[in-house]
Amino acid sequence: MSDNTMGDEVYQPPSSDPQDNPNDLDMEDALDEPGLDQTLDTGYSPPERPFVVNHDGTTARELHDRESLEHRLSVEVPEVCAPDGDGIGDLPDGVGEPTDLECGEERAGRLVGSDEGFWRGGSNDISARDVGIDGGAASAEEAAVHIARDDAGDGGGEV
């Protein structure tokens, strides 16, 4: 089969000049390279205030004499930042994770369904009872459950 024959009469675009590649980006589409388009002038926005007018080294004599190291260090200003916390709740002198005011601090322990842990279907109501903390370590889900007291007065106690 020669190079000039077309296969199965499927449309194939004619071969184009390698200089005219349609996949190349236009200069107006090249956003990350401002130097590629030479037809546009880049603007200059001057600073809102002069930065070094009141500092040493702005005149030719000051540049020639140069500043001493002691003078350079005396004008340095340390960075002011918040004190580091202890990494848990990021509160300085904080103990443990911050507690939720709506949640109680007493852990619930293991929760077992009221019907001995087997769901028999029929109702979407889920109820459980606290059977105390297991002898082993609690899972993350069990450790997250806390007992909340009902302070509104309309209920009878625990929620």
**Tens digit of each residue's pLDDT (9 = 90 or more) over 80-99:** 876 666 566 666 665 566 66
| In contact, 114 and 127? CB cutoff 8 Å | yes
Q: Report which listed range, 15-24, 45-54, 113-122, 127-136, is most confident.
A: 45-54
**Angle formed at CA 99 by CA 157 and CA 136, multiple of 5 degrees:** 80
Question: C-alpha dihedral over 25, 31, 36, 37, to 10 degrees?
Answer: 90
Q: Which tops the pLDDT comparison, 102 or 7? A: 102
| In contact, 25 and 31? CB cutoff 8 Å | no
Cα–Cα distance for residue pair 148/139, rounded to 1 Å: 19
Q: What is the pLDDT of residues 45-70, one digit of tens each?
A: 777 877 777 777 778 888 888 888 89
Mean pLDDT throughout 106-113?
74
DSSP state of 146: B
Beta pairing partners, 128: 113
DSSP 28-57: TT--S-TTS-TTSPPP----SS-SSTTSTT
DSSP state of 1: -
Query: Of 12-21, 63-72, 115-124, 140-149, where does mean pLDDT reach its minimum?
Result: 115-124
